[in-house]
């Protein structure tokens, strides 16, 4: 399993005093309120950054880091991804998974027929949609309890009960 989870991406600076504009990559944007620090990968190594304060603006997170005092220093961090150790990640409710843990899973139907490999998750607002690649084509599977019957992280397998008509050539 991946040891460090991505929780945001620095997309720009904000103001002249070193604030960073972050696109949150988490379902719970308020998780930043509890965050004291995070890591950024620089030249293959993880560097820890301590947070001075957090505020929110128009769907983005604005971070001020200790030691980043001006726009020039903040500019150096643009396009970097914020990571936290899995041990410090928010606890997920039963039946929920980190996207990085399910990407690459083999997806099977209820009869054990292989449907393909989970390559992406689309966030739609109401429910996620799993993108499964099969023979260079994509199958879009709604991430609903009535459809996704089992996820086994150890064996990297997902069992789904596809609704009738979801696939043209039913397996």
Mean pLDDT by 10 residues, the chain (171 residues): 89 96 89 93 92 95 97 96 90 86 95 95 88 93 94 95 71 45
Q: What is the predicted pLDDT for the residue at 168?
A: 55
CATH class of 4-88: mainly beta
Q: What is the predicted pLDDT for the residue at 171?
A: 45
Please state, in angstroms and rounded to a whole number, the distance separating the CA atoms of residues 136 and 128: 21
Contact 22, 16 (CB under 8 A): no
Q: What is the predicted pLDDT for the residue at 114?
A: 95
Q: What is the predicted pLDDT for the residue at 1?
A: 65
Return the domain boundaries, the chain: 4-88, 99-160
Q: What secondary structure does DSSP assign to 118-158, as a single string?
A: EEEEE--SSS-EEEEEETTEEEEEE--TTTEEEEETTTTEE
Domain 99-160, CATH among 2.40.50.140, 3.30.470.30, 1.10.1740.10, 2.30.30.240 = 2.30.30.240
């Amino acid at each position: 399993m991946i040891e460090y989870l991505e929780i945001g991406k620095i997309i720009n600076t904000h103001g002249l005093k070193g604030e960073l504009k972050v696109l949150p990559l988490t379902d719970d944007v308020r998780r930043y309120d509890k965050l004291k620090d995070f890591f950024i990968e620089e030249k293959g190594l993880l560097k820890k950054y301590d947070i001075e304060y957090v505020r929110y603006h128009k769907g983005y997170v604005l971070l001020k880091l200790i030691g980043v005092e001006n726009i020039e220093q903040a500019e150096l961090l643009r396009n970097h991804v914020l990571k936290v150790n899995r041990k410090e990640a928010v606890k997920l409710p039963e039946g929920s998974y980190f996207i990085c843990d399910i990407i690459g899973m083999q997806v099977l139907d209820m009869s054990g027929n292989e449907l393909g490999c989970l390559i992406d998750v689309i966030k739609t607002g109401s429910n996620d949609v799993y993108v499964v690649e099969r023979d260079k084509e994509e199958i879009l599977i709604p991430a609903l309890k009535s459809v996704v019957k089992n996820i086994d992280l150890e064996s990297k397998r997902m069992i789904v009960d596809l609704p009738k008509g979801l696939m043209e050539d039913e397996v």
